[in-house]
Copies of this chain bind each other. A is one copy, B any other.
Amino acid sequence: MKAVIISIGDELVIGQVINTNASFLSKSLFSIGVSVDRVVTVPDDESTIIKEIHSAFKTSDVVVVTGGLGPTHDDITIHCLAKFFKSRLVLNHDVLRNVKSLYRRRKIKMPETNIRQAMLPEAAEILRNKVGTAPGLLLRKNGKILVSMPGVPHEMVYITNKHLLPLLKKEVKSGRTLKEKTLHTIGISESMLSKRIGNIDDIIKSTKKAVVKLAFLPANFEVRLRVTVDAVNPKTADRELKLAVKKLISRAGRFIYSYSEEQLEEVTGKLLRERKLKLSAAESCTGGLVSSKITNVSGSSEYFLDGIITYTNEAKIKFLGVRKDTLKKYGAVSEQTAMEMAEGARKSLGADIGISTTGIAGPTGATKTKPVGLVWIGYSDKDITFAKEFIFTKDRLRNKEVMAKMALEVLRRKLLAMSN
């Protein structure tokens, strides 16, 4: 089964909005064995939209359209669908009720313009949208289907998971099985990882029964290893995937922090929970990002006590008990300060572990001996206190991101080494 994704919106064509919807959809469709042939991005223009729907129906079984369902004048998708499917617009009372109740929950009166979102093509089957005002629509033509969804990402996600995927799963009758597994590594560069893994001729493969591919995907100071298998049947696919993954694990070892979409903060959180340890964080250069990542995980209050963001030296002294002498002698960005910060975070509220970051996020603040991108990451528990040095980039936001990740990674490695 083949699909085309049509993303509608001037904002996409001129690059103002990133097309995250297309990648989410590609991924979701791939996961159920539907291959995306093409992603087309078009402006909010009636004739272009209708033309693209037309040509998509020629090559594909499924056409997924996102965007242009909002309540304002530039949202014309419904209008185009009504034209293409030759179906008149009628008021849908269920949809209107849903819109009204969403406004009620937030204690805001519904504006009249939202009524427009309940005027829908008569031929369309409604895919209910519980998280937003515009519903998804399902339309059929010559045994092929078109699903139209709002462009607002979380609404598109909701409708995809709730309606589109279950619908397609029923209809997929592909002969081949596609499987994929991604191993997430951190703290090692793409080429170092490639060197470590060595010759991959025993991992990749291309026979009639199975095609096994391996990709190195670097992004945000992580490198993902993705194995994809295209096999004659599910059993072969599973076997080949397992085999390849096993080889990669034996070679990439401790650099792999996750075998699923689990984030570093989730993995680290689980280790803390398993070991029944409480964490506190003391942050300077990362400015709250370490704590924010940790608290992105639901249930993190079980192991995260508090975080102290000490941008000033005064705060380092007052809240964390860093010694004036240490700051004077070694400076705020130093091994000694990082260690005292971590210790201070641990002791301030009786946590088991304290972690800390102190560095130069940039672009300013460098000295002769301390370049932009330098960070000391501190760790302290009842047995040991230490700090590690890293040098990253010259970009402030990238530095904050990677420094926060490395703080979690230092913590993860230490937790792994402890007995459970």
Contact = CB atoms under 8 A, between A and B. Distances in A.
A23 B30 contact: no
A396 B293 CA distance: 12
Interface string A69-89: 011111000000000000000
A330 interface: no
Secondary structure class of chain A's binding surface, majority of residues: mixed
A106 interface: yes
A281 B307 CA distance: 12
A20 B15 CA distance: 9
A106 B391 contact: yes
Contacts of A307: 287-288, 307-309, 311
A236 interface: no
Nearest to A27: B15
Interface in A84-121: 105-108, 110-114
Contact of A114 (B13, B27, B191): B191
Given A71-B194, A113-B191, A19 B17 contact: no
A391 B216 CA distance: 42
Nearest to A364: B298
A71 to B, nearest CB: 4
A295 B288 contact: yes
Nearest to A72: B216
A32 to B, nearest CB: 12
A311 B15 CA distance: 39
Interface stretch (A141-149, A238-246, A248-256, A314-322): A314-322
9 contacts: A10-B228, A15-B22, A15-B29, A16-B226, A70-B216, A111-B195, A153-B219, A304-B311, A308-B309
